[in-house]
């Protein structure tokens, strides 16, 4: 059985859902005025794709049209040539560990995003994943459009078609499996105001620095859903928007990796519910996740080969505004 869309969701989606084709780079360069724009790309072992992303932004949106003021690639402990490729393509490359020197070490994408925000200088900051194929400038202009033309918008989330390529063919919207199996059910259960967000886990989004510096960044795969929930509390639904970016091509992860991602999202959601007082048990849930790698002929899994255990716990960087003075002192030491 299906039901009509909530009036709240329908009204928000109607007012706050746009298409990247609505703006040209020239339009936005004129609209930005004195606003400084940064693009941050977190990257770990992305030498195959990050160069094309950086060079496209640098050529189309910095040289040809003066829209983007700085491009920052956060090298997240890469073991390949990510940093060299990104620098040669025109980015300022910063090390995740250098930016967070003196602070507790953390793992995962969220820490790289936080480091990028700390290293950047833009009044508006757009985040783009470093593993995109067939990258186009509209991924950036689409995210910037609402922010540079509507002062009531504080944060913009991208959404797109995500083809899933299999040996048997391509599913046009087969990507985003963790979204549909984990994130969306959680959102509809506990944060129904956000049910109109098409892709809550999308890696492309942009926001005003004044807002981004007021929220924490979760260390692992929970960073995107945590950001949405925290922004809902911080600025309200009407300050959020989303933009259709067309189609996104990137590498897909294994089912095992997706399972770990789903677990971190659930742990993150538990933490947000606990903060709201909706979970009263003071003891955190277990974060150890047992997975099985079958493939042998044995009737039972072999503990030494087929069972793996991962810790899916998360940590958080506090809001940047709370630690900026400490970081300045550390940098000067």
For residue range 150-173, what is the model confidence (pLDDT) as tens digits?
A: 999 999 999 998 665 555 655 565
- What's the whole-number mean pLDDT along residues 118-138? 95
Choose between 187 and 308: higher pLDDT.
187
CA distances from 260 to 36, 275, 313 (A): 37, 23, 10
pLDDT at 154: 98
Q: Taking 60 as the threshold, does the pLDDT of residue 321 lie above it?
A: yes
Q: Taking 50 as the threshold, does the pLDDT of residue 174 lie above it?
A: no
The pTM of the whole model exceeds 0.75: yes
- What's the whole-number mean pLDDT along residues 227-245? 97
Strands (E), the chain: 17-19, 37-43, 70-75, 92-95, 124-127, 132-133, 155-161, 164-166, 169-171, 205-208, 217-218, 240-247, 249-250, 288-292, 307-311, 316-317
pLDDT at 332: 55
Instruction: Say which residue the tokens 């981004």 belong to.
Output: 212
CA distances from 241 to 62, 99, 139, 194 (A): 25, 30, 15, 11
pLDDT at 114: 97
Lowest mean pLDDT among 14-23, 88-97, 120-129, 284-293: 284-293
| Mean per-residue pLDDT of the chain | 90
CA distances from 150 to 61, 202, 229 (A): 20, 22, 22
pLDDT at 8: 85
Choose between 5 and 223: higher pLDDT.
223
Q: Taking 70 as the threshold, does the pLDDT of residue 181 lie above it?
A: yes
329-333: Cβ within 8 A, 24+ apart:
330/101, 330/102, 330/103, 331/101, 333/102
- What's the whole-number mean pLDDT along residues 174-186? 84
Q: pLDDT confidence of 319, banded at 50, 70, 90?
A: very high
pLDDT at 302: 67
Helix axis angle, 138-149 to 25-32, nearest 10°:
40
Instruction: Say which residue the tokens 């709201």 belong to.
Output: 276
Instruction: Say which residue the tokens 């869309």 belong to.
Output: 5
Rounded CA separation 55/300 (Å):
51
Report the CATH number of the 7-279+308-332 domain: 3.90.550.10
pLDDT at 305: 66
pLDDT in tens, 203-215: 999 999 999 999 9
- What's the whole-number mean pLDDT along residues 43-64? 97
Are the C-beta atoms of residues 92 and 47 closer than 8 Å to each other? no
């Amino acid at each position: 059985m299906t039901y009509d869309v909530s009036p709240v969701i329908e009204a928000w989606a109607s007012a706050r859902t746009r298409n990247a084709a609505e703006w040209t780079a020239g339009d936005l360069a004129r609209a930005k005025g004195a606003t400084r724009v940064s693009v941050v790309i977190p990257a770990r072992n992305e030498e195959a794709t990050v160069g094309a992303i950086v060079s496209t932004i640098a050529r189309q949106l910095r040289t040809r049209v003066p829209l983007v003021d700085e491009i920052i690639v956060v090298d997240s402990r890469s073991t390949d040539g990510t940093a060299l490729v990104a620098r040669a393509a025109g980015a300022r490359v910063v090390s995740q560990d250098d930016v967070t020197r003196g602070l507790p070490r953390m793992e995962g994408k969220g820490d790289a995003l936080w480091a990028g925000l700390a290293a950047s200088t833009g009044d508006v900051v757009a985040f783009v994943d470093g593993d995109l194929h067939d990258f186009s400038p509209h991924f950036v202009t689409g995210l910037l459009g609402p922010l540079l033309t509507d002062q009531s918008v504080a944060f913009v989330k991208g959404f797109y078609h995500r083809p899933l390529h299999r040996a048997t063919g391509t599913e046009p919207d087969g990507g985003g499996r963790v979204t549909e199996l984990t994130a969306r059910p959680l959102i509809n259960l506990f944060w129904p105001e956000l049910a109109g967000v098409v892709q809550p886990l999308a890696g492309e989004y942009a926001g005003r620095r004044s807002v981004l510096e007021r929220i924490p960044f979760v260390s692992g795969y929970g960073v995107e859903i945590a950001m949405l929930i925290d922004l809902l509390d911080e600025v309200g639904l009407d300050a959020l928007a989303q933009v259709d970016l067309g189609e996104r091509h990137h590498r897909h992860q294994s089912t095992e990796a997706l399972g770990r991602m789903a677990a971190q999202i659930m742990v993150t959601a538990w933490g947000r519910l606990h903060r709201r007082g909706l979970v009263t048990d003071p003891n955190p849930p277990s974060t150890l996740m047992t997975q099985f790698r079958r493939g042998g002929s044995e009737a039972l899994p072999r503990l030494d080969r087929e069972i793996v255990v991962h810790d899916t716990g998360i940590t958080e960087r506090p809001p940047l505004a709370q630690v900026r003075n400490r970081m300045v002192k550390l940098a000067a030491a």
